[in-house]
Structure 1
Amino acid sequence: MQHPERRLLISVDMERYSRRSNLQQYEAQRYFRELLHEAADTVGLDRVAWTTQQAGDGELAIVPREVSESRVIGKFVPELNRRLRSHNSSRLPVARIRLRVAVHQGLVHLDGANGFPGNAVVFVCRLCEADPVKKALAAFPEAGVALVVSTEIFRDVVSEYPEEMRPERFLRIEVAHPDKEFREHAWLCVVDEDLSGVSVPGVVPPDGEGSAQAVEESADNGEAEAANRAADHGGIRTGDIRVKGQNAIGHGATAIGSLGRDTNFGTGRGNPR
């Protein structure tokens, strides 16, 4: 086993590939490869030197060490989007090629027996399969590429070159695959489109209020406020109850509730603390 290498990883997946007929899949694969090669050649990238793992509806690409991340994200992806839009403009929707592109970097073994072992490979593929990325691309029928990048790529590349990358067009999202125990943040954009007015699942606002934890805390706070209102109007206010003594609450047991009192169950008396 050779030592792993730190590389830039690109996962590309074609939208609605499985819904095509055999002939349509055949044609889509051909145009997919042609468009990728043409876009790379236009911006000075040699795709022949890329290490790739092919799938019918996409590919995983491991980029040579000497290739600049900013060239891939700031030049190659926009050129690919431009060519896809041009290609699709004269075709029926069923024949159009639209891509989800994910970019990440990390350690990868290039000598795997049946692929490229490495958590970074798994990570970039999870990003490409994410539901928010699919929904964002679907929201713009004329778009060519939905791009999702890892937090590291956004921080080190996208945000450092704002004139090329336009970081203000990216939304922070939560990528979740519960069945695969995967939950991570990433950054999403649809190239040359404005996502600000589109409802995309999993969006995390800058203050973090959209995260799963914040949503759960908000629900807890809402329950507490409802309890407070009930108490203010003569109702019963409940809160966290800590039981003193017996495990079961029965006659003579004491519980401390959010009212700040000790209540003796079965006696009808509440003792101020």
Structure 2
Amino acid sequence: MSFQPFHHTIVATDVVGSSARHDQLQLKMRDDLRGVLERTLRRQDLDLAELAPTDLGDGFRLHAPAAVSPLAMVSPFVDNLVTELRVHRQSANERSRLRLRVAIHMGLLNREPHGGWAGIVLSECARLLDAPAARDLIADAPDADLVLVVSDAVFDAVVRQGYGPAPEQFRRIPVTVKESNFSAWAYLPAPWVAAAADSSAVRRTVAANGPTAPADTAGMPSAGSGVVLGSAHAVIGPTGGTWFTAGRRAAGDGV
């Protein structure tokens, strides 16, 4: 039996804390996540079925064919997903809230006759999704709805070329899972505006680091973009609102 691999962009999702939900909440979680993904893709005129979703139990894996640019699966996909998670959060209680780890990778995939998939990029994407550093990032940011992890291939071909979130908004993380030991790039979208100044995450950060003077706004991300996990500071946005970055940059972090 011979196969002919084709290039795909792979997007894998996993719901944070899914194992703590009982059966009924698990069913609701899966239905809600499918709906969120459908609406996210609809925002950019894509259909979930076109991306041949694979059920991962606690999430879904999407396979975007070569006809769908990898750029589209980073931007506007990530921003659209953040928006849909925020909308879902408005009508969900804390037990049914969806918080995600999202991994994006790309490479050659074989489609098997029975509909399955084969390719080393699948196991690599699974390692990205399971990276302990990514789990720690979202665990330490309870106000965040997702953490994104992208492979070097995606970072170099998409992010570093100016598409999607700015490269400096990512941080290098280790991916040490099972027999794998490599590195990737993590991004924590945090669209905190003036109204979020009283959020618990910002209060904790300001208490730990103290207030600082407004920074130069040149080149700052839009309100819909993520922020670097750097020392806390306030930035006056172009519309007069205030953005806050949270966390503390580790020595040597950055692009």
TM-score by length of 1: 0.69
Question: Could you tell me how far 1:10 is from its partner in structure 2?
Answer: 1.1
Structure 2 Cα separation of the partners of residues 174 and 128 of structure 1: 12
Q: Is the 8 A contact 1:150 1:186 kept in 2?
A: yes
Could you say which residue in structure 1 is the equivalent of 2:119? 118
Q: Distance in 2 between matches of 1:137 and 1:43?
A: 26
TM-superposed deviation, 1:106: 1.2
CA RMSD of aligned residues (A): 2.2
Aligned to 1:95: 96
- Structure 1 residue 205 displacement after superposition: 3.0
Runs of 5+ in structure 1 lacking a partner? 208-273
Greater C-alpha Rg = 1
Contact 2:7 2:65 (8 Å CA) reproduced: no
Structure 1 position 18 matched with structure 2 position 52: no
* Separation of aligned partners in 1, 2:99 and 2:123: 22
1:40 alignment partner in structure 2: 41
Identity of aligned residues (%): 28
Gaps of 5+ in 2: 191-225, 232-246
CA distance in 1, matches of 2:34, 2:248: 32
Q: Write the deviation string for residues 171-203 of structure 1: whole angstroms up to 9, x where unpaired.
A: 0111112xx2101110001123432243699x9
**Deviation (angstroms), 1:167:** 1.7
**Given the alignment of the two structures, is residue 4 of structure 1 paired with residue 2 of structure 2, yes or no?**
no
User: Contact conserved, 1:175 with 1:186, CA < 8 A, in 2?
Assistant: yes
Q: Distance in 2 between matches of 1:54 and 1:157?
A: 26
Whole-angstrom CA distance in 1 between matches of 2:66 and 2:49: 14
1:80-111 Cα deviation digits (max 9, x unpaired): 11111221134332210111110111121111
Report the number of matched residues.
203
Cα deviations by residue, 1:203-261 (Å, 9 ceiling, x for unpaired): 97359xxxxxxxxxxxxxxxxxxxxxxxxxxxxxxxxxxxxxxxxxxxxxxxxxxxxxx
Which secondary structure does the structure 2 equivalent of 1:165 belong to? coil
Contact 1:108 1:116 in 2 (8 A): yes
Of the three residues 173, 179, 183, the one matched with 1:185 is 183
Structure 2 residue identity aligned to 1:161: G
Return the TM-score normalized by structure 2: 0.73
* Shift in Å, 1:26: 0.9
Match in the other structure for 1:173: 173
Q: Is 1:51 matched with 2:52?
A: yes
Q: Does 1:138 align with 2:139?
A: yes
Task: Give deviations 1:149-188, integer Å, cap 9, x for gaps.
Answer: 00111111011125x32222100111112xx210111000
Partner of 2:220: none
Is this contact kept in 2: 1:7–1:63, CA < 8 A?
Answer: yes
Moved more, 80-89 or 117-126: 80-89
Please tell me whether the aligned partners of residues 8 and 106 of structure 1 are also in contact (alpha carbons under 8 angstroms).
yes
Equivalent residues of 1:7, 1:65 under 8 A apart: yes
- 2: CA distance, partners of 1:81 / 1:43: 14
1:196 and 2:244 are equivalent in the alignment:
no
What per-residue deviation string (whole Å, max 9, x for no partner) do you get for residues 21-66 of structure 1? Answer: 1111111111100010001001222222112211221122111211
| Residue aligned with 1:78, SS | helix
Choose 84-93 or 35-44, whichever is displaced more: 84-93
Cα 1:60–1:204 change in 2 (3 A) is: farther
Of 194, 205, 208 in structure 1, the residue corresponding to residue 253 of structure 2 is: 205
